[in-house]
Amino acid sequence: MTTAALCRTRASLCEILAIRILREYGDNLLDLALAITTSWSVYSGAEPDLLARAREDRDDMDDRIGNAIEMAILGNAKRFIKSDPCQKVIDAIWRSVFVLIMSLRI
């Protein structure tokens, strides 16, 4: 693809911008978790031609929802996932799930 380098550059820019925006929420874990885990339509705001191509490729594309963590994992956004704000939320989720599991064992 002749535009692959441009697409990678755009993706990197979006990743950097997302990290900087999340730093604004860094002092409040609840706000940070809400920003990272709020579900939204993956194709929200996409141009009509992109939606048409996506519909050709996927039958369930209208139902696809995601959040920032899922999209970062699927998009291999390592900088975003490794960022301090994202790690705070992942650690909090992990600790909560771990505490829940341990409480169920007792």
Asked if residue 14 belongs to a domain, the reply is no
> What is the rounded CA–CA span in Å between residue 5 and residue 18?
20
Q: Are 75 and 11 in contact (CB under 8 A)?
A: yes
State the pLDDT at residue 7.
Answer: 80
How many domains are there within the chain? 1
Asked if residue 46 belongs to a domain, the reply is yes
Asked if residue 19 belongs to a domain, the reply is no
State the pLDDT at residue 64.
Answer: 66
Question: Exposed, middle or buried by CB within 10 Å (0-12, 13-18, 19+), for 89?
Answer: buried
Asked if residue 16 belongs to a domain, the reply is no
Q: What is the pTM of this model?
A: 0.68
Asked if residue 8 belongs to a domain, the reply is no
Asked if residue 7 belongs to a domain, the reply is no
pLDDT tens, position by position, for the chain (106 residues)?
A: 568 888 888 888 888 988 888 888 778 888 888 888 888 877 777 788 877 877 777 765 556 678 888 888 888 899 999 999 889 888 888 888 767 666 776 5
Asked if residue 4 belongs to a domain, the reply is no
